[in-house]
Amino acid sequence: MATERKKGLGRRSRGGPVRRDPDATRAALRKSAVTLFEKYGYEGTSVQQIVDKAGRTKGAFYHYFESKEDLLRDVHDEFIDYQLERAHAVLKRDAPADELLAQLVTEVLMEPLGIYKSEISVYLQEQRFLSDAAFDEIRVKRDEFENCVVQIIQRGVDTGIFKELGPARLVAFGVIGMCAWSHTWLDSGGELSVREIGDMFGKIVVDGLRV
């Protein structure tokens, strides 16, 4: 990973000293990359195109990211960190497993699609280009995320709320997959809001698991 990302290169203000705004620069590069990856694909997008669209320099790019692959990994971290924060918040609630699972489907699996749809789409479409080393780092967070879903399902089985249809991990994969691939058709301007779709999916999942 690129080191010292929070220290950074900014752009020169008119007639004044260089303004250092590392968060804005990093966000601009990430946004540019997501837009271009969606349009041209990961392989079809160059670092030069990314910096040109972001209005930054290659020097700024390599200050924050070691490579284009590192940037794609950062795109993944942007949404998975948000989902992990929400998942752990759901796990801390004092509620039965069926309520927790319904809340997790809505708040953790579906609502983030309304915020990070492009980032999630880009990652799922382009992750095949990541090296084994890069994916190993990503897998740590994805395993943590999957374990949050597994914990709720296993809790439901252990307390007699859910049927034991199979290994909790496989059931969790099914729940995650059903929601994650909604990015291929989700339209924020459709008949239902993302939250309403999440509530509907949560009911489908919970009703199917409940004893």
* Residue-wise pLDDT tens digits, 27-37: 999 999 999 99
Q: Span 52-60, mean pLDDT?
A: 96
Band (pLDDT 50/70/90 cuts) for residue 20 is low
Rg for the chain (alpha carbons), in Å?
20
How far, in Å, CA of 60 to CA of 43, rounded? 21
pLDDT above 60 (res 74)? yes
Bridge-partner residues for 11, per DSSP?
19
Q: Which of 120, 118, 208, 198 is nearest to 161 (CA)?
A: 208
- Helix H or strand E encompassing 18: strand 18-19
Which residues, including other chains, have CB under 8 Å from residue 88's CB and lie 6 or more apart? 148
Structure tokens at 73: 């990994």
Residue-level pLDDT at 10: 44
Domains and CATH numbers, the chain: 11-64 (1.10.10.60), 68-209 (1.10.357.10)
pLDDT above 90 (res 8)? no
Band (pLDDT 50/70/90 cuts) for residue 188 is low
DSSP-based three-state secondary structure for 107 = helix
How far, in Å, CA of 16 to CA of 12, rounded? 7
* Residue-wise pLDDT tens digits, 89-143: 999 999 999 999 999 999 999 999 999 999 999 999 999 999 999 999 899 999 9
Say how many residues make up the chain.
211
Neighbours of 188 (CB within 10 A): 10
Q: 190 and 131 in contact (C-beta within 8 Å)? A: no
How far, in Å, CA of 209 to CA of 211, rounded? 6
